């Protein structure tokens, strides 16, 4: 391991991630956040934790099961990490339950949004729920008994369930049964006034007599199961990746139990039965005071109560794409005049990325479209444009990453639909995920073919583009276009391309390029490095930053999530500052700037974080920004990010995250909204 990266200078990845989720949770206590937004962030906290257990905790438990004892750079073994995670998660559960039960639920009730108990409802409400149960719930609920002829049922991943005990009044025999709360139905049943909610499990529990007629229901208890969903796909040159992924999706349903959530009042004998039958142990059990699965609060957030949410913001159409006449703007002409940046969600996805692909699909001079697809949405307009282009006779190549975790099924569906209309679908390079976000258009112009490209930091997904902060650049730079042509040949064929004209490509090139730029800045008297990313955990990159700090280089980092680097260590990192912005939008762009004001600077952007997986096990691209106008936009964005004192947290040398003191009240998300609106008005 690198000399400067050790237990004293490195923060454990898993514990750093839990600190990030604490920052997400902290938004639920902000006085300046509307009430339903607080409920939404509780749902996000819950969903985040689900994925953490399915992947990160599951991976550590696998290491433990196989007797692997190797430690991470911070010196913690898998067992020690699991123990630390357990303590942290227990504390978070306690805080979250208090926040929901003592603050958010009562505040919602004061606004008429009430979580009701079936036993306290009046006759009219009960009659309504009885009808809802008969018409909507009963047809899709399947009670499963356990007896000598019926083995203990399989409990699927992330399922919410009722453990039920019933007795035969004639024989006196007591049996166990399980009812799965149907995930296809909303988590809460809405009463006729539209603002009172009853948990679905409570509705089902109040009608157990209908599910077990003739039996005495002795009791019921709610539990929720999380399983290992971290399966590595074994690829080989001759295998069928599509079939392999479909098999892995089936296997995921049967992964080992890594978490069992129950209420504190569950009797020991019931808990022992569940643990025994599902192969769980006491370390997997989490006793939760409040409702299980708070991700269901998304249903509450969907209420039409705009006064309890942030004021809606509609992104702008970049002025160069806006038309004051009835004639459609020529997207390709705009790009020929100079590179164009889209900063989402402040610039709309529909008028930029979607419009680019749509125009390419309809333009008679466009010969081919090539695109990488990592995560997209079910009703994707980009996918429809690709289908239209293929039907129109254009050559369309789509690299669909089937190994995009938790989006595999959707990507398989899209891959098959694209293939059905003649799109050339490929799944990338054996052994590597293709994570980069690229679109390349070849257009005939006179006697030559001109390449137009889009390179982004975010997915081609119009839904996430409304809430994820991302940057994308449209360019007709032919050197960069030639690089991307070479890259697509590498991705779809048998090319062994490793050298490119302007872009840096992992797994070979990005680590080398970033380290070279860090070392170059460290050699300068006025060295200054600014990095904005989601995660910083790679030991080699952290060591390079430490060495630059030792040379006196100023280093400003904005790391939204996981950060393994420790700033402020005397003699090692006293010239490094680390902050994190957590707020209305999810900070997702990756921007790397090298150089001080007053001299030439290097700007790189793309979808690569500073993590071993991005640098060594994925196909990623970092592209340069050379256009002065775009450099100004990047500087403007970074100035706002590092001036924020409303949403920002700062990491100290003690490894603790603390809120940045409010001095000027700058909210980066509000400030960037205002800048976008000012650009649209033509006053900037």
- Please indicate whether residue 84 or residue 1 has the higher confidence score (pLDDT): 84
Q: What angle do CA 171, 173, 177 make, to 5 degrees?
A: 130
Cis bond upstream, residue 507 (ω within 30): yes
**What are the two backbone dihedrals, phi and then psi, of residue 74, each rounded to the nearest 5 degrees?**
-80, -5
Domains of the chain: 33-308 (3.30.1840.10), 319-492 (3.30.870.10), 504-681 (3.30.870.10)
Distance CA 367, CA 393 (A): 9
**What does the pLDDT read at residue 237?**
43
- Alpha-carbon span 569 to 566, nearest angstrom: 7
Q: What is the mean pLDDT of residues 355-384?
A: 93
Q: What is the pLDDT of residue 449?
A: 95
Output the pLDDT for position 317.
Answer: 95
Whether 323 has a pLDDT exceeding 80, the answer reads no
Looking at residue 529, its pLDDT comes to 98
User: How many other CB atoms are found less than 10 A from the CB of residue 289?
Assistant: 14
Give the separation between CA 404 and CA 376, rounded to whole angstroms. 10
Round the average pLDDT of the chain to a whole number and report it: 91
Q: How confident is the model at residue 229 (pLDDT cuts 50, 70, 90)?
A: confident
The answer to whether residue 435 is catalytic is: yes
- pLDDT at position 120, please? 86
Contact predicate 10/536, CB 8 Å: no
Quickly state the pLDDT bin for 187 (edges 50, 70, 90).
Answer: confident
Tokens read off for 46: 């819950």
CA distance 429 to 113: 51
Residue 406 banded pLDDT, cuts 50, 70, 90: low
Q: What is the pLDDT of residues 280-295, one digit of tens each?
A: 999 999 999 989 999 9
Range name among 212-221, 242-251, 324-333, 349-358 with the lowest pLDDT average: 242-251
Bridge partner residues of 222 (DSSP): 162
On the question of pLDDT at 241 being above 50, the answer is no
Q: Considering the entire predicted model, what is its pTM? A: 0.92
For residue 409, the model assigns a pLDDT of 73
**Contact predicate 569/543, CB 8 Å:** no
Backbone angles phi, psi at 602, to 5 degrees: -105, 130
> Is the pLDDT higher at 273 or at 377?
273
Query: pLDDT at residue 247 above 70?
Result: no
Residue 401's pLDDT band, with cuts at 50, 70 and 90, is: confident
Percentage, residues of the chain above pLDDT 90: 78
More confident residue, 499 or 95: 95
Helices (H) and strands (E) in the chain, counts: 21, 27
229 exposed, middle or buried (CB, 10 Å; 0-12, 13-18, 19+)?
A: buried
CA 261 to chain centre: 23
- The pLDDT tens digits for 510-566 are 999 999 999 999 999 999 999 999 999 999 999 999 999 999 999 999 999 999 999
Average pLDDT over residues 74-91: 95
From 111-125, 177-191, 220-234, 428-442, the region with the lowest mean pLDDT: 220-234
Q: What is the pLDDT of residue 684?
A: 59
Contact 368, 394 (CB under 8 A): yes
Residue 64, pLDDT above cutoff 70: yes
Give me the catalytic one of 435, 454, 528, 588.
435
pLDDT digits (tens, 9 = 90+) for 663-680: 999 999 999 999 999 998
The pLDDT of residue 137: 95
Percent of the chain past pLDDT 70, that is, above it, reads: 94
Tell me the pLDDT band of 579, cut-offs 50, 70 and 90: very high
Question: Which residue(s) pair with 578 in the sheet?
Answer: 557
pLDDT higher than 70, residue 470: yes
Give, in order, the Cα–Cα distances in Å from 660 to each of 17, 577, 588: 19, 12, 20
Mean pLDDT of 474-481: 95
pLDDT band at 243 (very low <50, low <70, confident <90, very high): low
């Amino acid at each position: 391991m690198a000399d400067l990266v050790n237990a004293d200078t490195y923060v454990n990845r898993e514990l750093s991630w839990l600190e990030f989720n604490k920052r997400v949770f902290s938004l639920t206590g902000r006085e300046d956040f509307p009430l339903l937004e607080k409920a939404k962030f509780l749902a996000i906290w819950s969903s985040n934790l689900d994925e953490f257990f399915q992947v990160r905790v599951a991976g550590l438990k696998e290491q433990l099961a196989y007797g692997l004892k190797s430690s991470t750079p911070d010196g913690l073994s898998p067992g020690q990490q699991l123990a630390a995670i357990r303590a942290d998660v227990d504390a978070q559960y306690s805080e979250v339950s208090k926040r929901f039960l003592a603050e958010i639920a009562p505040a919602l009730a004061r606004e008429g949004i009430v979580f009701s108990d079936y036993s306290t409802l009046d006759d009219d409400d009960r009659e309504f729920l009885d009808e809802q149960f008969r018409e909507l719930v009963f047809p899709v609920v399947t009670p499963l008994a356990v007896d000598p002829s019926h083995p203990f049922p399989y409990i699927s991943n992330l399922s919410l369930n009722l453990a039920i005990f019933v007795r035969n009044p004639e024989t006196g025999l007591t049996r166990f049964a399980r009812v799965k709360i149907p995930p296809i139905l909303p988590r809460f049943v809405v009463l006729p006034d539209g603002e009172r909610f009853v948990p679905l499990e409570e509705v089902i529990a109040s009608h157990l007599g209908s599910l077990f007629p003739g039996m005495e229901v002795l009791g019921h208890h709610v539990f929720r199961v999380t399983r290992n969903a971290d399966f590595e796909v074994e690829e080989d040159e001759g295998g069928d990746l599509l079939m392999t992924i479909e098999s892995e999706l089936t296997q995921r349903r049967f992964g080992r139990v890594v978490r069992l959530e129950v209420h504190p009042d569950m009797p020991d004998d019931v808990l022992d039965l569940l643990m025994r039958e599902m192969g769980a142990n006491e370390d997997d059990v989490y006793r939760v005071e409040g409702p299980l699965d708070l991700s269901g609060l998304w249903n509450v957030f969907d209420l039409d109560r705009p006064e309890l949410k942030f004021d809606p913001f509609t992104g702008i159409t970049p002025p160069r794409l806006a038309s004051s006449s009835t004639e459609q703007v020529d997207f390709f002409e705009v790009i020929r005049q100079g590179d164009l940046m889209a900063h989402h969600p402040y610039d709309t996805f529909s008028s930029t990325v979607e419009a680019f692909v749509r125009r390419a699909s309809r333009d008679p001079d466009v010969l081919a479209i090539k695109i990488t697809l990592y995560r997209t949405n079910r009703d994707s307009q980009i996918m429809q444009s690709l289908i239209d282009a293929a039907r129109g006779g254009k050559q369309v190549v789509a690299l669909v990453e089937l190994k995009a975790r938790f989006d595999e099924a959707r990507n398989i569906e899209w891959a098959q639909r694209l293939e059905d209309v003649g799109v050339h679908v490929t799944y990338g390079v054996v052994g590597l995920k293709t994570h980069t976000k690229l679109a390349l258009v070849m257009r005939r112009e006179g006697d030559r073919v001109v390449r137009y490209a889009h390179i982004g930091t975010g997915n081609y997904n119009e839904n996430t583009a409304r809430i994820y902060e991302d940057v994308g650049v449209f360019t007709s730079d032919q050197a960069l276009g030639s690089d991307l042509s070479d890259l697509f040949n590498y991705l779809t064929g048998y090319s062994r391309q490793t050298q490119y004209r302007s872009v840096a490509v992992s797994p070979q090139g990005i680590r080398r390029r970033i380290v070279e730029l860090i070392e170059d800045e460290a050699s300068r008297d006025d060295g200054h490095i600014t990095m904005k990313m989601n995660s910083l955990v790679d030991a080699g990159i952290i060591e390079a930053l430490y060495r630059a700090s030792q040379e006196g280089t100023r280093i400003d980092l904005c790391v939204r999530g996981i950060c393994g680097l420790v700033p402020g260590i005397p003699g090692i990192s006293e010239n490094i500052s680390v902050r994190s912005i957590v707020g209305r939008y999810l900070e997702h762009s990756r921007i790397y700037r090298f150089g001080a004001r007053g001299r030439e600077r290097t700007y790189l952007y793309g979808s690569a974080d500073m993590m071993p997986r991005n640098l060594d096990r994925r196909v990623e691209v970092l592209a340069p920004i050379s256009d002065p106008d775009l450099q100004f936009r990047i500087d403007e964005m970074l100035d706002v990010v590092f001036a924020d004192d409303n949403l920002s947290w700062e990491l100290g040398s003690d490894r603790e995250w603390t809120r940045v003191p409010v001095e000027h009240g700058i909210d980066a998300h509000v400030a960037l909204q205002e800048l976008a609106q000012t650009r649209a008005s033509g006053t900037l």
